Structure 1
């Protein structure tokens, strides 16, 4: 028991009660206890026990707590037992040493229970330290757009983003100079969950100022653990996420998703400087604790005996608790006689070379044919310069390779084989791991195995192996395409040698050329790569590496191991389903055909069956001229569950394509959304063109689709003098008022009249006032407002000899000059909202500034063109050659394409704005370059060409399955930029009106 004068009563845990006093009954008690943090604790009960001390026995009460720690000797017992303090101190001083196994187990359990906060669920938060991300001084922001997320994964990605945001790991931001794309990865064994991974190697990693803090060497680790009897290992849960990022550094960790921008608030896997930052922080957390060593997220604790081990372990757990760190209990080990760490075995006798490093060679099976023997000898010959008398030793094996010699594995061959394996794994060839030397990891895959060799590059340029590894492929892995098997060897090798490679710069070596591009650390993860390759690329992206291609003949060390692999372990045989398989199932479930149908039709398809076989065996280095569409995408092709995949999309056989297209078109979504939907599920050569043909040939889509593409701008002819043509419109209600806007087309001179009423009578009165100052224009352009279409307004125009041109209904672009000025006027008046002046004062200020400012189209002020002088102001800019410059500017916005043309009497569809639909009509007359009148029963409408389209769609049908596949076709949509002056139709000659006014009077 522990003496605790702060405890009023003596207590034990429920587990100790069941172990020590199982037959003594518990008595209910109403006593309520409080912990040192103030929490109330209700005992399970109490019991009476016999306590013997100093030859005297008494019956005392002992209280039982459900989750108690060590047994406590409280003040109640202290009053009844007279302790000899000198004896107690002497006993404590001489009590160090090994404990009984039962005692160690009990005390360890108590220790872990007392520090249960360290093993709590959730992510901890490191207190007192935050990570700082520093970039090169010349680094410029890199903003990458969000990558498309397959529809099958979007709900899972949304849920994970929401979870990370709720837990405070991510925060939503409105904008950022930096943005890293994400790739969602299905969590292994959890088909319903994804992990969000940032592809930082395309954003901050290339310009990151790496923290120069060394990871501990194996010699340093062993030195701090030397003399230990037993060893404990603590695994920190999601270590990096437990460290917050400084506020100023968070902008660099912005990720771009389909839901917008998010910023990481914690250190995240994939940032190149994360290992050094974390190692430095952990060294500070655990400093001065003896018998302790940390390597990234693993902490090793030991002691010269059990007592010291427990004390050190207690200090470590207390320190972790103080700093707010969490560990994963299921991955921790305690009081082990030996422990594997950084590729070595550590026990009380010292540091040992792990047999795993050389097992791949020592346990390599005997070759069964010439091909396997040749691969093994390729491994041996790779190191021939380092192996003495090699030719003599290999003689019996080389004999079997000679032409005409029958294969017969003799005793001499067996002895030579074993001797060669001994030489390769001897200390003469193997070298110790040294983090200061360059590291290379060579990996290769055969149809049935994978092999990897970890090596150092010595000063003379030669390679000396550090460790070997190999294994057989599982039955599922043997069905992988060749590119997937080769990629698997790289990823498995990096995982196998994680403790050697993580936090160090190393070189990956492969003999599969496409992987050099896919796994290139200076390139982004290809969006169209297979799901499995994307997941592996993200794992590799968290490491600092280069990747190098070597031809097969120069790659014989890894090639030999892959062709004589160790048998697969039970753990690997029973591993959970590959997330790529889960994703494939999710994709196929969305299609109107079954996976069985796709597999059967793929085998029967004359093209896909051959492409399938080439993908499984490996594409030639320069592709295949017979299948150019597939050869161009060979780096994206893979096989999953017997189905040919292009990235994450199923390659649909020709006989099933019509059914798939019909299913994609069920919702009549239109061309763009159909393509977007297809890109999440399916692919075949020419799919985009077939989708376009399908939507164009659908009569239902044609009737309800949006208006046809807008006709090219048809510029008004620029008036040669002021006040020849004016554009009028109403602005408002705005600021509780209506305003009549009048703009001169030549000079851009505006007039703005506040209006209490917008009737024809009041509008005519306002125009009469303006005309009295500026004269009567030749032409007025307006919309179809009721005040402009009334008989009263028409008579006013006719009497004053003014031509009146009205735009087509619901087509404001015709009167673009006035419409654009209304926007400018409203924006400027609103900007003066806080100024303490009247509305009329604001309007006057705006008009003075506008009239005396250079206009973007004319490069002159409206005042200069209208009055031949500027208003008295500081601005006085004159530009020569004005007319030609204006014409050039206007015509520069006119696209080359011609406007659509309709014949008189042609049956067409015209826009009916009463019900927002297209109505069959007949072309009656053409009133201008882009204007027509159309007959609608007994009525006549005026319509712009943008409001008219052909009556029937082109006669296209679903693509036949036996049509030859064509190249993908992408529609390019050219958008003409809006200009300040939206210029349209020239004035038809039919609108001439004979003047009805004398020079002296305004009617």
Structure 2
């Protein structure tokens, strides 16, 4: 009690058997604890309990926080395992103070106990078996008559041999320490061992109500046992016609996926969805791109289905294979004639197995979920919105949007508006450059057949302008000019002046021997008239003569800092970096050669910094950056460029 006093609730005691009298004092004290625990098991199990003993060695032997000694006797170890199932605390109390238990031990019964009293759970089991078709008396008779069980019973009463006598005894010999006898019946723990004659009746009794294998085993293990009982229980259920007639589906077979098509719209899966939202829908899925087409159906007949297929095939073309279920619209003769006439193979899935047409079934599920989430609009508006979002969304299977795989392009959506327009940005930048450039420019008009002066770029010549006639406009600001000696050159409009008088007899005209345009093969333009022959451009070998200078020239030396990375500017290639003037500016700017056309270079200016040449390390950097700059390529003559590096 709370005040430390003892209030007995129940007493129990028994006399030791002849075998127990031979126990040592330690074993007798331990036996007393085990006897009390088993006697009051229904009250103690699952609750904290305090064990009081006047034998102090038991404190160290059965203390709850200490392991079982490895050198202890096997009997002590079994008792320690029994106590481990309880939530107990063992304490020591002197014998002089333990009078309530010590007094009973000094008043033994005069009669000898032939056997240990039967536990209550065993009595309950025997009484329960008495009400079954096979009762305890029958089991007792069958046990005495059974050759194996009678031998086992004799071993239980008289002791087991050290070795198993035969294989039939082995299942019992391995459990010899757990077998006991009660009223001529053999028990394994709390389970009665049923002889061979009563096993069939017990199986029928256990299968009352047709439980499954697991439930039958669970029920049988609470009452009975015999060698091979689990196998007999399984055979009972397997051989029961009623159980097999109403059992569940077997485990699913391994997944067998469809082969992936080699091209779009090769295999399509079709199915009906509905009634859904008071409508029926025909759903078609392309197995290659996962593209979905959905049609609202007023009826699900073969005629209506064929009409929607024709509408879809008019957009995407005929397919090679159609997969459907076994619906009436797909198995009719009318539908079979339609697919046969169009050279389409038709396959149906296994009846009542939607997973065989899983592509269409999954599309139906996605369609219904998407339509339920869209609240605004009519059914057709909701359908259009769902289809558009589905077709532009990348699929987890393919990793791409259905529109990209089927149409080889991405459908434009409002999400594309977030990307900046590169083309518009370049055009705006070019217009801005044109605006600043045109502030100091004059819009001039040059016509074909008009007399002009063309800029003379001949080295050493004092004549800057030579007369000619425009014979062709080769570009927005580029013209072909025929000189008075019959040669044809090309000049930008910035290098052309209008001529208002005739220069036919001008004796001061000089040849443009070093004009680079003469080396361009494509500017040889035939001009034939009835009176004159077609002029021919002189060969390069005849144009290499230099005019004698009228005054001494100073010697020009190439700067030493160009020797490391210079190259022959007379033979530039696409991708080379050069220094060139920009329009009318006298400074030098870095530019990249985008194209070579004879002596004319198409330059992309990549640097608008100060004049001068670039070190080799900066040249490499400009090479990787020039393509990102939105500058327009401008034509420039070879004579106007200087080397920078590669």
What TM-score bracket applies, with the shorter chain setting the length?
A: 0.3 to 0.5
Structure scoring higher RCO (CA < 8 A, sep ≥ 6) equals 1
**Bigger radius of gyration, 1 or 2?**
2
Give the structure-2-normalised TM-score: 0.47
